[in-house]
Amino acid sequence: MKSIKTKLALFVSCLCVLLIALVWLLTVVLFEPSYRGMIRSELSGKVTAVAALLESEAAQEEDILGLMELVKPLMTSGICIEVSATEECILAHDYRSPTLGTQMRAYRAFFVLEGIGDDCQLHPSSQGIFGERTQTDSNLALLKRQETAQRGQISETLIDLSASPYRQQQVMGLITSSGYIVLASTNLERVDQAMEVVSHQLILISVILLGVSLVSALLFARWFTRPVSLLSDAAKRVAAGDYNVRVELRSQDELGTLARDFNYMTGEIAKSTQLQRELIANISHDLRTPLTLIRGYAETIRDLDGEDKARREDDLSVIIDESDRLSVLVGSVMELSKYSSGTEKPNPVRFDLAELTADVLRRYADRAEKEGFTLSQEGPEELEVFADPVQIGRVLHNLVSNAIAHLSEGGAVRVVLSTQGGRVRAEVIDNGSGIEEKELPYIFDRYYRARSDAGRRGSGLGLSIVKAILVAHGAPFGVQSAVGQGADFWFELPPPAQK
C-alpha cells in the first residue's frame, strides 16, 4: 500500500502535468482557432456597421464621394474596406464616376479604403506607364463581389502560395437590401509559424516545469505528512506503554487540533492507567486483610478452641463478618465494572423521585435510631423524572450511606428535592466532617478516600459507582463541601416533559 506521502506527491505531480497539458492545449491547439474567430468577429462587425451606414437616411442623397466620407470614420489600420453595388442600385441612385462623370458600372468599386497596403490580395499593386498603381477592380475582387451578390454574404480565407512565405487574408462580404456590396478584409499573421516557435520553447519549458513540480511535490508531501508521521510515532509509543509522550505541533490547522486532542487523550489514558493501578493495589490490600483474618481464625478454631464454645462462636463471628466484608468488596468491584463498561445500560422510565427517596430513607430508619442520627426529606411530595429508577435508587443509597459514614454523634442527613432551570435536582446534605478543597476534584475517582477514610470500613467504590451511573444517564452531578461544614452531594435529572 502506498503511503500518504507517495500519494500526495503523485497527486501534485499529476496536477502539474495536467496544468502543463492545459497550457499546451490553450497555446498550441486552441490559439489559432481562437485568433481566426476573433478576426472573423471583427470583420463581421465592420461589414455590418458599413452596411447599416449605407442604408441610413444620411446616405440616401450622397454621391460616391459623400458615401466615402461617411464610411471613412469606420476605417482602422490593418483592415481594407471597399464598397460597390449592383446595377439596380446604381440605376436607382444614378451613381457616376467622380473623375469621368460617366455612370458607374456594376460590381466596380465605388471606393477602397486600404488599410493593408501592398500585401492586399484583393487590391494588388501593379506597374503601369504612369508608375505603380493599386488595382481596385482586380479579377479576384470582382469575383468576390459577384459571389457576395449571389450568396448574400461570404466568409473566406484567401491563400497566396506564390509568395514566400505564403500569405493568408480573411475576407468577409455582405450585400444590403438596396444592393450595396461591402467587403472587408485583413491579413492573417503567420500564427502557424509563431506556434512552431512557441512549441519548441514549450518543450523546454515543460521539461523544466515538470522537474520543478516533481521536486516541489516531494518536498511538499514531506512537509505536509511530517505531523502525521509524528502522530504515528507517538501512537506507537503509547501502544508500547509510554503514556507520557506528547506531540509538539504549533500549527493552528486541523492537524494542530488533532495533536492537541492526541495529547489530551494520552493524558487521560495516563490518569486512567494510574487509577487502575491504584485500584488494583488498594483492592488487593483490602482482599488480603479479610482473607488473612478468615484463615487465621479458621486455624484457631481447628487447633486451639477445643471445647471452648464461647471463644469458638466469637471466632466464627469474625470469620462471618470478614466474609461479608469480602462479599461487599467483590460485589462493589463487579458493580462498578458493569456500569463503567456500559454493559448495564440505563432503562429510563417515568417515576416519582420523591417516593423513591422516601423508600431509600426508610431502609436506614432502624440504623438512625440505633446510632443516634436523624434522616429527613425536604421538597415536593411528588416530583416525576425520566430515568432508570433502579440505578437512581442505587445512587441515592450510596450517597446516603456515604453521608452517614461521616457523621459524628447527633448528626443529620437531609435529602432536598427541588426544580431548577427545568431540571429536577436532588441533594444529599450532611453536617459531618466535610472535605478539604484540594480533595474535591478527586472525590468521585475510583477507590479515592477522603476525610481521613483510611481506617473506615467499606469498598471505597461507592462514589465511583454513583459517577458511572450518572454519566451513563448524561446527568450533571457534583459536590460542595468545606472542612468542618459537612458536604452537599447533588445531581440533576430531566423531567418527563423533556423526553
Residue pLDDT, tens place only, 68-88: 999 999 988 889 999 999 999
Say what the pLDDT of residue 450 is.
43
Least confident of 311-315, 371-375, 477-481: 311-315
Say what the pLDDT of residue 282 is.
63
Boundary of a domain, candidates 279, 312, 341: 341
Mean pLDDT for 267-285 is 69
Greater pLDDT, 496 or 119: 496
User: Quick check: is 224 in a domain?
Assistant: no
Q: In what order do the strands lie in the sheet with 180-188?
A: 111-113, 79-85, 180-188, 167-175, 153-160
**Looking at residue 95, what DSSP letter applies?**
-
Greater pLDDT, 280 or 437: 437
Residue pLDDT, tens place only, 300-346: 766 665 566 777 677 677 777 777 666 766 666 666 666 665 567 88
Domain at 58, CATH number: 3.30.450
Query: Do 137 and 262 reside in the same domain of the chain?
Result: no
**Looking at residue 75, what DSSP letter applies?**
-
Say what the pLDDT of residue 89 is.
93
Number of alpha carbons in the 13 Å side-chain half-sphere of residue 376:
11
* 170, containing H or E segment: strand 167-175
| Separation in Å, CA 483 to CA 126, 434, 439, 440, 479 | 120, 4, 11, 11, 13
Spatial distance between the Cα atoms of 283 and 258, rounded to a whole number of angstroms: 37
Can you give the residue range of the structural domain that contains 93?
A: 4-193
Q: What percent of the chain has pLDDT over 90?
A: 30
Domain at 370, CATH number: 3.30.565.10
Residue pLDDT, tens place only, 196-246: 666 777 777 777 877 777 777 777 777 777 777 777 788 888 888 787 788
Greater pLDDT, 380 or 162: 380
pLDDT above 70: residue 129: no
DSSP-assigned beta bridge partners for residue 491: 426, 477
Query: Do 41 and 161 reside in the same domain of the chain?
Result: yes
Say what the pLDDT of residue 439 is.
84
Query: Do 66 and 188 reside in the same domain of the chain?
Result: yes
Query: Do 373 and 314 reside in the same domain of the chain?
Result: no
Residue pLDDT, tens place only, 252-264: 777 778 778 878 8
The pLDDT confidence band at residue 499, using thresholds 50, 70 and 90, is: very low
pLDDT above 50: residue 454: no
Task: Check if the beta carbon of residue 403 is closer than 8 Å to that of residue 471.
Answer: no
Spatial distance between the Cα atoms of 97 and 435, rounded to a whole number of angstroms: 121
Mean pLDDT for 368-395 is 90
| Separation in Å, CA 191 to CA 43, 118, 161, 167, 187 | 18, 20, 16, 11, 11
Greater pLDDT, 22 or 373: 373
From the CB of residue 379, how many other CB atoms can be counted at a distance below 10 Å? 18
Instruction: Select, from the ranges 144-148, 216-220, 419-423, the one with the highest average predicted confidence (pLDDT).
Output: 144-148
Boundary of a domain, candidates 159, 193, 227: 193
- What φ, ψ does residue 478 adopt, rounded to 5°? 180, -175
Say what the pLDDT of residue 55 is.
92
Mean pLDDT for 431-446 is 82
Spatial distance between the Cα atoms of 268 and 280, rounded to a whole number of angstroms: 18
Query: Do 335 and 371 reside in the same domain of the chain?
Result: no
Question: Which is it for the CA torsion 129, 131, 132, 133, positive or negative?
Answer: negative
Boundary of a domain, candidates 177, 193, 209: 193
Q: What percent of the chain has pLDDT over 70?
A: 81
Say what the pLDDT of residue 451 is.
42
Say what the pLDDT of residue 331 is.
63
User: Quick check: is 220 in a domain?
Assistant: no
Question: Vertex 414, ends 412 and 417: CA angle to 5°?
Answer: 175
User: Quick check: is 209 in a domain?
Assistant: no
Residue pLDDT, tens place only, 386-401: 999 989 998 999 999 8
- Radius of gyration for the alpha carbons in the chain, expressed in angstroms and rounded: 51
Query: Do 446 and 384 reside in the same domain of the chain?
Result: yes
Residue 126's SS3 state is strand
Whether omega before 165 lies within 30 degrees of 0, making that bond cis, reads yes
Instruction: Select, from the ranges 184-198, 228-242, 286-300, 376-390, the one with the highest average predicted confidence (pLDDT).
Output: 376-390
User: Quick check: is 235 in a domain?
Assistant: no
Say what the pLDDT of residue 211 is.
79
Query: Do 490 and 398 reside in the same domain of the chain?
Result: yes
Residue matched to cell numbers 470582382: 142
Question: Which is it for the CA torsion 367, 369, 370, 371, positive or negative?
Answer: positive
Query: Do 57 and 146 reside in the same domain of the chain?
Result: yes
Domain at 318, CATH number: 1.10.287.130
User: Quick check: is 361 in a domain?
Assistant: yes
Say what the pLDDT of residue 380 is.
92
Mean pLDDT for 102-117 is 89
Query: Do 74 and 23 reside in the same domain of the chain?
Result: yes
User: Quick check: is 204 in a domain?
Assistant: no
pTM of the model: 0.46
Query: Do 388 and 471 reside in the same domain of the chain?
Result: yes
- How many domains does the chain contain in total? 3
pLDDT above 50: residue 95: yes
Query: Do 448 and 421 reside in the same domain of the chain?
Result: yes
Over the chain, what is the mean pLDDT?
81
User: Quick check: is 486 in a domain?
Assistant: yes
Instruction: Select, from the ranges 18-22, 143-147, 267-271, 371-375, the one with the highest average predicted confidence (pLDDT).
Output: 143-147
Let me know if 468 is exposed, middle or buried by CB neighbors in 10 A (0-12, 13-18, 19+).
buried
User: Quick check: is 477 in a domain?
Assistant: yes
Query: Do 268 and 387 reside in the same domain of the chain?
Result: no
